[in-house]
Amino acid sequence: MSRQRLYDWFLLLVCNLIWASQFVMVKLVQEQMGPLFAVFFPMAIATLLLIPIVRRERNATVRRQDIGRFVLIGVAGQVMAQLFITWGTRISLASNAALLSLALPVSTAVMAYFLLGERMTSVRWVSFACAIGGVLACSGVDWSALNFSSARYLGGNLMILASVCGSAFYNAYSKKLLDRYSPLQVLAYSYYAVIAFLLPITVYAEPESFGNLLHFSVTVWVGLVVLAFFQYFLSMVIFLNVLTRLDATQAAVSNYLIPFFGLLLAALRRDSAAARQVRVFGDQPSRRRFGGRTHSVYWTSSLTVRVRSWLRL
């Protein structure tokens, strides 16, 4: 494996660590605002950060025939992904959300097949199978708490599933636009569509959040800044840059690290069931379970890399 490829996988590791923090940050900021504002405001900040950078790039003009494509990935991709995961986790079980989120890499592979013509080789299927096995061992899903049959959680489950499909669509379709635009341009132009779509809806549905801006706590402001800079700006710029060099399907395999990193963050917070199961400084059985899950992720990633190296993929 080349040094550039290893560096790309390291960057994807960073992206997934940032994405794993989204659930914690979104839950934090929604203590003082609704789900619409929790998505709109940090994305608006991220857009403001992108504007001066994109203007410095050459050929920053959008082709007329591509305007509809940016609107499509903005609304059907980012809005669906970010808004529905924020809203869905409010009205569904955390265990349901954790399990449904595991469909993201497979959904991305399906989207990449139909939109980009990427092939699912036998090695990639083996990699996906190994990744699923490893992540189920370390994801911390509370299987006894799963509930997909109750109508009470149906709406939330559908929103989470729609969010997964939205993320997969954005990841795959963005790669088509990266042939003509830089990663910063793809991100900024899709965000323009998001802001134009969400602004009137947020003003109508949650006008009180704008009036409460000055009254948000320091903790909530920290959460908003983390979401804006790390979640919606830095991680997406890094991911789209890597996507110019890797297939969307290859990059999607790294998404199986999100539950693992989410488990680590939960352990640090120590305020959830997952955290109680994996207290790093807790009892010996907890440390053994944590070590087993860490080994599963290591085994999964190592096998995938070695198989690719053997077959020179």
Average pLDDT over residues 10-17: 91
Q: What per-residue confidence (pLDDT) applies to 220?
A: 95
One-character DSSP codes across 202-219 = HHHH-HHHHHTGGG--HH
Specify the pLDDT at position 70: 96
Task: Give residue 105's pLDDT.
Answer: 81
The pLDDT score that the predictor gives to residue 267 is 62
pLDDT of residue 22: 81
Between residues 310 and 215, the one the model is more confident about = 215
Which whole-number Å values give the CA distances from 260 to 12, 17, 139, 140, 267, in the listed order? 14, 9, 6, 8, 11
User: How many angstroms separate the CA atoms of 28 and 26, rounded?
Assistant: 5
29-76 residue pLDDT tens: 988 999 999 999 999 999 999 999 998 887 768 888 999 999 999 999
Mean per-residue pLDDT, 191-217: 95
Alpha carbon distance 169, 175 (integer Å): 10
- Check residue 101 and give its pLDDT: 75
Q: Above 80 in pLDDT, residue 107?
A: yes
Percent of the chain whose predicted confidence (pLDDT) is above 90? 42
Query: Which band of pLDDT confidence, cut at 50, 70 and 90, is reported for residue 145?
Result: low
3-state SS track over 77-138:
HHHHHHHHHHHHCCCCCHHHHHHHHHHHHHHHHHHHHHHHCCCCCHHHHHHHHHHHHHHHHH
pLDDT score, position 56: 86
Token look-up 């198989």 returns: 307
Reported as a single tens digit per residue, the pLDDT across 232-268 is 999 999 999 999 998 887 788 788 777 677 667 666 6
pTM above 0.85, yes or no: no
